[in-house]
Structure 1
Amino acid sequence: MSSIDPISMATQLATYEIQPFQQRFQTQADKYQSQISAYGKVETALRTFRTAVEDMNGLNDSVVKNGATFSQEGNISASVNASALAGEYQVFVEQIATSHQMGVDLGAGTTADTAIPAAGSMVISMDGNTMTLDLATVDTDSDGTATLQELVAAINTDENNPGVNASLVRANGETHFMLSGKETGVANTVSVNVTGTGDANFENAFANSTDISTPKDAVIWLGAEGTGLKLTNSSNTFEGVIDGVDLTVTKAQTSGDQPIGITVGSDKEATKEQLNKMVDAYNALMSEIDKYTKVGSKDEKRGPLAGDGTIRSLENQISSIFRQSYNGQSLYSVGVSIDRNGKLAIDNDKFEAAQAADPAALNEMFNGTDKLFDSLEATIKPYLSFSDGVFKNRKDSLQQNISRIDDKMSNLERKYQMSYDRYLAQFTQMNQLMTQMQQTSGLFAI
């Protein structure tokens, strides 16, 4: 009679008792984990789609793009929004706007470390705004000396700075103090007054500052110089001078030059690029949804989110938005449709025809209040909230399921240990009895 191995027998029997439950729990945990992963992939694709929509629905952006061309380059640029009407215009640039810059000569030998008076005040004004700097506060390193460099820092960091930059300019071995207005135009003329310092030379230097650049307003003519409509502006950008068009002048023309011709019209390539962004993001999202919700077949594995109501609801809501009508006109009629495979497609000929006929109305379908993009944002937002979004809640719920399975696994481990200990004791005792029987039978051997 041979002996048995108690450890091996106890291990096999204890394992046999928990193995079916262990396998079932592991299968469930793997399923939940694959669903969490799939939700993460779909969520990422949805965020990418949302970003594409936001990029086309900002304050200064849209799907429909218009542009401007010029008969002469180098004098004007234009920002053209989707509401701009096609047309021909003429503009003469008489003068560009400049900012005020003044220089202060504090004498030969001046450097950044030159000491300045530690008493008195400096008042700087521009466009009705004023700052008053107490020169006694300029010495920030507390070495007992206020320097020109510290004065520059004090002006630039003052919370009441009216919109000027102070700087030190070095030329021909000398250092000059300079104040520059941040904004252009006559209204932004800088003035400075220094009093109470006890240093007449310092105060006189600021009183006799030199204009490096005088402030000027931009001047243009809609039409020919001297006969068209004259417009002035403190900035070089004339907003809305032409409906939907902002003009920025960069260089003045010479008196007597011909006005610059401006042609405003559809920018088909830029519009097509915007459309392609939308199509690519939408189709990438739907491909991810299809990948994880496929029902499977003999040759294809079932997706982890097959039959998932949350994902199907999202898919149906988004696709239905593209099938709706806006301002009494369907997206299909302007060339935007969803094909039989559920993918977004663009009929470029239809879209270009709609853009040529009425670009403002076309843009309203996409970018108008509560139209396509607003509807998409309202639908997507509840899914992607970081605090209580649908995706977050669904993944949290699945993670809780995994946690409960982990608890069950821990209980199985305890059950296994109890069974193992019981079987080990039983088989150890049996092994001892078998050994005793073998020893006893040996006493009667002939």
Structure 2
Amino acid sequence: MALTATGIGSGLDISTIVKVLVDAEKIPKEAMFNKTEDAIKAKVSAVGTLKSELTKFQDALAKLQDGNTLNQRKVSTGDSDFFTATTTKSAKSGSYSIQVEQLAKAHKVGGAFATDAQQTVGAGRLDFTVGAEAFGVDIEAGDDLNAIANKINNATDNPGMTATVITSDGGSRLVFSSDVEGTESQISVNVTDTTGTGLSDMFNGTNLSELQPAENSIVYIDGQKVTSQTNTVAGAISGVSLDLTKADINQTSTLSITLDNEAVKENIKGFVDSYNALMTSIDKLSSYDADTKKASALQGDSIIRSLESQLRGIVSDRVDVNGETTALYEIGISTDRYGKLTIDNSKLDDIIANDMDKIEGLFATETSGLANQLDDLAENYVKTGGLIDDRNKTYTKQTSRLDDQREAFSLKMEQLEARLYKQFNTMDLIVAQLNQQSAGLYDRLNSLPGVVPQ
């Protein structure tokens, strides 16, 4: 620890002298450390911004990567209470009359009533058939209704049946319900008693009641009858799935399907806007201001130069669509001199209305479609272990090394300060001793005979 009172012997301000000497070496180095730290932080922030923009770009691309999301349809059911409808890209524009006669129902059967759910039934085995599949459970003498239900529901080979204990005014009973609707999933029960007749008395023959018969759904499409095992009717209209919700044969609803041109255009416009935002961000992160002579954090950085080059290469490339190649400019999207995309609305509207296959092929062709190529490129940067992740690990290592250098330099400065204090204090002591010797000599000289004090 440095002395707090120094310079007594020499009259020098040693603390100030030491501070000036130490600062002369410390301040420039600390400024360099701070500059390096600021540069690393700026780069970390910059690649974070780049990652965020790439993720937004991927969100826009997701709407173009698949034909079903790109080639959208408008579906109108006239606010019908009887069904809802979903479509795929294969659905053709048209109008259909829909009448729902009957909803599909799951088969339900119930055993005889017991006094309560804790009543035991007897030992044996229950074998079930659900449609074409079978399974069974062994029942022990101590099993009550709840235990039997749990064994059935937890059976690994249960193909789709649920057992429930229902307690009503009549008592408690086990109810078996098929998990799916339709006549092909009816339930049958076969009972084997090993002790007494308890299981047979509850589930065999007339002791097993049908609570809800299995029924198929029935719907008429333009007057043509369609029967389905479930309340989902798929394939009756190409590319259309109907989910039936209510039945009344006397009520007619209208299903209308049209190409949603506006949604398609909005998704393509979203892609263009997101691409331009990404390129603007890249320009900003890698720019150099000649007036201020200040470079952005990633100016000249290979990670951003490579990304920009690959992006421009992909959007200017041609894609093979059914043996013919096509490019963005053929659907009304061109690149300006700044590398940004612009839309010719008239040309794009015409292509959407008359040649959606070209748009779908250009963007959504598996692997080679522009949206898929661009998403693969972006994913290579943003994924865990990707290029941005690797770059951040590099910055973390640089920060760690900088911290080590700061710590080592701080120790060096402490040692320099201690050494200087030691040297100056030694000098101060010598000067004090010399002053003391000089004063003593002066006093002795003045005491000699014949010397007249001055």
Call closer, same or farther: CA 1:288–1:148 in 2, change over 3 Å. Answer: farther
Could you list the runs of 5+ residues in structure 2 that have no partner in the other structure?
Answer: 1-8, 444-453
Are residues 1:406 and 2:403 paired?
Answer: yes
| Count of residue pairs the alignment pairs up | 428
Matches within 5 A, 1:34-183: 34-54=42-62, 57=65, 61-70=68-77, 73-107=80-114, 110-117=115-122, 119-136=123-140, 145-172=142-169, 174-183=171-180
Contact 2:380 2:387 in 1 (8 A): yes
| Alpha-carbon separation, structure 2, partners of 1:408 and 1:299 | 31
**Partner in structure 1 of residue 296 of structure 2:** 303
TM-superposed CA distance for 1:348, in Å, is: 5.1
TM-superposed CA distance for 1:349, in Å, is: 4.8
Are residues 1:437 and 2:434 paired?
Answer: yes
Structure 1 residue identity aligned to 2:180: E
TM-superposed CA distance for 1:189, in Å, is: 1.0
Call closer, same or farther: CA 1:165–1:395 in 2, change over 3 Å. Answer: same
Root-mean-square deviation over aligned CA pairs:
3.0
Contact 2:104 2:214 in 1 (8 A): yes
Could you list the runs of 5+ residues in structure 1 that have no partner in the other structure?
Answer: 137-143
Report percent identity of matched pairs: 28
**Partner in structure 2 of residue 368 of structure 1:** 365
**Partner in structure 1 of residue 201 of structure 2:** 204
| Alpha-carbon separation, structure 2, partners of 1:179 and 1:210 | 10
Call closer, same or farther: CA 1:98–1:416 in 2, change over 3 Å. Answer: same
Contact 2:119 2:145 in 1 (8 A): yes
Which of 258, 275, 287 is residue 294 of structure 1 equivalent to? 287
**Partner in structure 2 of residue 4 of structure 1:** 12
TM-superposed CA distance for 1:371, in Å, is: 0.8
Call closer, same or farther: CA 1:379–1:132 in 2, change over 3 Å. Answer: same
| Alpha-carbon separation, structure 1, partners of 2:210 and 2:35 | 81
| Alpha-carbon separation, structure 1, partners of 2:87 and 2:293 | 51
**Partner in structure 1 of residue 450 of structure 2:** none
Are residues 1:317 and 2:310 paired?
Answer: yes
TM-superposed CA distance for 1:183, in Å, is: 1.1
| Alpha-carbon separation, structure 2, partners of 1:114 and 1:274 | 62
**Partner in structure 2 of residue 214 of structure 1:** 213
Are residues 1:17 and 2:17 paired?
Answer: no
| Alpha-carbon separation, structure 2, partners of 1:186 and 1:300 | 80
Contact 2:113 2:171 in 1 (8 A): no
SS in 2 for 1:62: helix
Structure 2 residue identity aligned to 1:88: S
| Alpha-carbon separation, structure 1, partners of 2:346 and 2:275 | 21
SS in 1 for 2:31: helix
Are residues 1:384 and 2:377 paired?
Answer: no
Structure 1 residue identity aligned to 2:29: F
Q: Relative contact order, CA 8 A, sep 6+: which one is greater?
A: 1
**Partner in structure 1 of residue 6 of structure 2:** none
Give deviations 1:382-409, integer Å, cap 9, x for gaps: 212313x111222222322333333333
Are residues 1:331 and 2:317 paired?
Answer: no
TM-superposed CA distance for 1:300, in Å, is: 9.0
**Partner in structure 2 of residue 267 of structure 1:** 260
SS in 1 for 2:179: strand
Give deviations 1:259-312, integer Å, cap 9, x for gaps: 644322112454355446545544543444344223225369642112222113
Contact 1:195 1:203 in 2 (8 A): yes
Contact 1:102 1:179 in 2 (8 A): yes
| Alpha-carbon separation, structure 2, partners of 1:77 and 1:346 | 36
Contact 2:10 2:428 in 1 (8 A): no
| Alpha-carbon separation, structure 2, partners of 1:36 and 1:410 | 22
| Alpha-carbon separation, structure 1, partners of 2:64 and 2:108 | 40
Are residues 1:249 and 2:244 paired?
Answer: yes
Contact 1:197 1:203 in 2 (8 A): no
